Amino acid sequence: MKKKAIIILLSSTTLGTGSLAAQEYITVSTQNISLALKVSDTKKLEQVYFGNRLKNDEELKAASLPAASAYSTFGGTHTFEAALRAVQSDGNTSTELRYAAHRTEKRDGNIVRTVISLKDAYYALSVDLCYQAYQKENIIEQWVEVTNNQAKGVTLHNFASSDLSFSAADYYVTQFHGNWAEEMNMSQQHLDEGIKIIDSKLGVRSNQFTHPCFLLSLGNPATEDYGEVVGATLAWPGSFQFCFEVDPQKRLRVLSGINPYASSYTLEKGEVFKTPALLYTYSGNGVGEVSRRFHRWGRQYGIKNGSGERSILLNNWEATYFDFDEAKLVQIIDDAAKMGFELFLLDDGWFGSKYPRNSDNAGLGDWHTNTQKLPHGLPFLIEEAHKRGLKFGIWVEPEMVNPQSELYEKHPDWIITQPHREQSLQRNQLLLDLSNPKVQEFVFGVVDKILTENPGIDYVKWDCNRYVTNSGSQYLKPDRQSHLWIDNANGILGVMGKVSAKYPNVCFMACSGGGGRMDYGSMKHFDEFWISDNNDPLQRIFTQWGGQHFFPAIGMASHVSASPNHISGRSTPLKYRFDIAMAAKLGMDMQPVQMTEEEKAFSRNAISVYKQIRPTILYGDLYRLLSPYTHNRTSYMYVSEDKSEAVLFNFLVRKNINGDREAVLLKGLDADKKYRITEINRESDKWSRVSEYEGKTFSGDYLMTVGLRFGMYSEYESVVVRLSVP
């Protein structure tokens, strides 16, 4: 008798384990999206659907749907890029995976995990496709675990974390790119037949040129509120690759994961190769929904203490660079307390004895206090900060070393470099080899010793100012040199995890010469990230606009700097600089001693106001209104969860001789609530652009339908509006 097929739904009500003797479909579902997989008659696992969740998933089997391999392999009849390419222990270059089993489990009230086990038809090689479906956030997390049970080694040449297929009339991919001081720029391209690769080959601070995230629009270019779009980001700080391949039938396959470039990896018997996770979602309602899902997921799961408090910090770097002493730092600490800051951060230059860290060419790696600069050590500064009501933070760069250092003299074998080749320096420094367990122990020990000996440290800025060149390891065996790219990244993740586990109450910032380590693989160990070394507000508009597509404001540190800006040389009003910094997690590098009394008064007021609106910005939902790429003015807003407050940011990007009077239609409000309009950060001697709205109340319906209409005319002009329910 023919057995009736049923669909296994991965939800809180349908959990179990099965051999699929009488089952054809496995569906990974959240509240609003579904990924449907089918086991074919020949036991191959195929993807048949990815999109909005159906009211009745049973209907997926009612008619034949186009199918594509759920995890393609090299060999056989497959003629396109493969998710997995392995050389078996006897030299066979092909792999043929067949469905073996699956299991699902409810991790908690919100997470459902499924593992689908595949095995080679002949060889003792198994592949587990692992999924975690976050129900409320509508995010799917996917990774792969490859196990070798053959007597001899198996070499992996390609090892994608996911293999997703699509069928649409057209495809458009948005990528995020840039360089130091101009990170997270956005560009959209049409995908024609053939292959497009977005990748990094940098190994460390691998986000410097491209970022491990993309938006894929199906059919037509997506907008903020309309269109089909898939958003994805890879949780990995090392080299990555996204491969988009459109075949002659206009079908698209997307392979995502570690970059296989120069990274073949040999598994001995019993070893498991685990790929990093790809996080992705589907939206039928445009890009804005994708961002809000990632923000909610990031605050809950992706960022350390993602729902905790964040402090407004003052950093000494742009005021002093390496030139400081105790008296100068105590003055900055005192000024910070009087201005309303909550944390003082001591940046680079506080360490080194034999080779004092008085510039960037010496001392890196020698993590003991420079007593010539700080005769009373860090405890004295910590006490000075704490007695003024400030938290204390410190800068470290534990993965790096200067050739002019005691560490390098003692351990030149710990450096990533190729033998018989000239050393390659960036910022006068070299990389420590984190594939080496002894180096991992040292790097952990650096941070651990600083925090143990100085228990009053509340905040750590963890920097990383170069990427991999001369990629050789003196620890790895000659036939395992290609493991470096992967083992080094896993090594630093292991150290980060060990540090964050031991010091859960210390706030950690991930800094990498700017946004070079802005990924959810690293971010689960860090409370916030430094998105760019460039605090120029005009550049920051674009950098933060790009970054906010996947990362929430609670993690996005943004600082007010001096004018002219130290990187761009551009002069901008203090209000413009404050407004863009307040649109994320506020901090400052500009020093009070460099300010006029008028600037100090404005800054104190802005800091005070930020403390009032901080919960809405850091924990609220983001709605982008006008893009800086397509409008002279850019606008976006944060709305509190209960919709009782919103903060609207407006920045003039391009001055027009006739001004800009474009209507700003608000989003995310409660249509039935009344909101009072108040301009904040208004300069006392300037006429308010929103004077006709000031102090009045309007319904959410009016604000979202008619909107606010006010002109913006002046170069570097900004307007910030607070909307609150009376």
Strands 139-148 and 125-134: antiparallel
Question: Cis peptide before 564, with omega less than 30 degrees from 0?
Answer: yes
449 vs 383: CA distance, rounded Å: 18
Per the CB < 8 A criterion, the answer to whether 634 and 545 are in contact is: yes
Which residue type sits at 28? Answer: V
435 vs 522: CA distance, rounded Å: 17
Going through 121-203 in order, the beta strands assigned E by DSSP cover 125-134, 139-148, 154-167, 171-177, 185-190, 194-199
Length of the chain: 726
Using DSSP, state whether 675 is helix, strand or coil.
Answer: strand
- CB neighbours (10 Å) of residue 381? 24
The number of CA neighbours under 13 Å toward the Cβ of 423 is 15
Contacts of 601 (CB under 8 A, 6+ apart): none
CA distances from 177 to 240, 243, 301, 546, 613 (A): 13, 16, 25, 9, 31
Contacts of 656 (CB under 8 A, 6+ apart): 632
Continuous segment of H or E residues that includes residue 9: strand 6-10
Nearest C-alpha neighbor of 485 from the set 256, 267, 200: 200
Helical residues (DSSP H) of 506-620, grouped into ranges: 520-523, 537-547, 574-582, 597-619
Contacts of 338 (CB under 8 A, 6+ apart): 592
593 vs 325: CA distance, rounded Å: 16
The number of CA neighbours under 13 Å toward the Cβ of 5 is 16
Going through 608-696 in order, the beta strands assigned E by DSSP cover 621-626, 633-639, 645-652, 674-680
- CB neighbours (10 Å) of residue 708? 22
Strand partners, 660: 712
Phi and psi (nearest 5°) for 476? -70, 150
Retrieve residue 553's tokens.
């404001």
Retrieve residue 177's tokens.
């790119």
**Does 448 qualify as catalytic in the annotation?**
no
Per the CB < 8 A criterion, the answer to whether 346 and 393 are in contact is: yes
Share of the chain residues as helix, strand and coil, in percent rounded to the nearest 5: 20, 35, 45
Continuous segment of H or E residues that includes residue 391: strand 391-396
Angle ∠(452,523,369) on CA atoms, nearest 5: 30
Retrieve residue 457's tokens.
């440290």
Q: Which of 163, 458, 533, 579 is catalytic?
A: 533
Strand partners, 631: none
Angle ∠(562,567,573) on CA atoms, nearest 5: 35
Nearest C-alpha neighbor of 474 from the set 431, 426, 424, 429: 431
Strands 210-218 and 171-177: antiparallel
Strands 313-315 and 585-588: parallel
121 vs 45: CA distance, rounded Å: 13
Per the CB < 8 A criterion, the answer to whether 617 and 638 are in contact is: yes
Q: Which of 458, 463, 527, 621 is catalytic?
A: 463
**Does 463 qualify as catalytic in the annotation?**
yes
441 vs 449: CA distance, rounded Å: 12
Catalytic residues: 463, 533
